[in-house]
């Protein structure tokens, strides 16, 4: 069996070691006995989600996000349908932000996301930086990471965070919530990279993508 991975905007959204997440997904899949095929889908490319079992969407700076945000609108319908159907996707930092409604910069510029999940992000001058630990009540697991972001993400009333922060800030400096989970879509501010520091979560993603378990609960 083969795990087919889409590295969404992998040539643009790859800051803070996010490519390590892709390497960890590939390693985990191979250790689980699967072949792995990875493709970058970027600006100007068509996105045929039927070709993939898992999508990884890493982080980037404001300039890269502005470019990606514009192009992402051409892929919005396909991505939203993929997520609603239970497709597995992990967004880190900027990729996480663009799964929501919008990202607003310090200059007041607004970059639209795909609105697949009910949340929005606004930037503030002070960055949220440091080692982070969260506990996921949903999965009863602890995750470790490192965060460095100016954006503050606020989830809608009916949207569940990936976990609650034990150390660090998480999505913002107000509610002690980190990341998001919706069906089989996950977002997080954890760098480090996230999956290398939390191999049990990498295994969860691979298992979901290969249909070993059905996570959809929303």
Q: Largest Cα–Cα distance in the chain?
A: 48
E strands, 11-157, are 35-41, 54-57, 88-92, 102-104, 110-112, 119-136, 141-155
Q: Where are the alpha helices (DSSP H) in 32-153?
A: 62-72, 76-84, 94-97
- On whether 4 is known to bind a ligand per the annotation, the reply is no
- What is d(CA 149, CA 129) in angstroms, rounded to the nearest whole number? 7
Catalytic residues: 93, 191
CA distance 19 to 53: 18
Question: Which residues carry a binding-site annotation for substrate?
Answer: 127
Residues forming the annotated binding site?
Answer: 127
């Amino acid at each position: 069996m083969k795990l087919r991975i889409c590295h969404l905007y992998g040539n643009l959204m790859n800051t803070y070691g996010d490519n390590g997440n892709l390497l960890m997904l590939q390693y985990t899949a191979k250790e689980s006995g699967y072949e792995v095929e990875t493709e970058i889908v970027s600006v100007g490319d068509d996105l045929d989600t039927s070709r993939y079992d898992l999508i990884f969407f890493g982080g980037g700076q404001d300039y890269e996000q502005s470019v990606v945000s514009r192009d992402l609108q051409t892929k919005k319908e396909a991505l939203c349908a993929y997520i609603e159907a239970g497709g597995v996707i992990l967004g880190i930092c900027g990729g996480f932000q663009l799964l929501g409604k919008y990202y607003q910069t310090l200059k007041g510029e607004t970059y639209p996301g795909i609105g697949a999940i009910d949340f929005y992000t606004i930037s503030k001058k002070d960055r949220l930086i440091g080692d982070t630990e969260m506990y996921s009540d949903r999965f009863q697991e602890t995750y470790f990471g490192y965060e460095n972001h100016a954006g503050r993400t606020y989830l809608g009333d009916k949207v569940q965070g990936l976990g609650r922060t034990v150390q660090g800030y998480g999505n913002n400096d107000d509610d002690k919530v980190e990341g998001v989970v919706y069906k089989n879509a996950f977002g997080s501010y954890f760098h480090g990279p996230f999956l290398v520091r939390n191999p049990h979560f990498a295994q969860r993603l691979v298992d979901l993508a290969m249909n070993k378990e059905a996570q959809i609960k929303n």
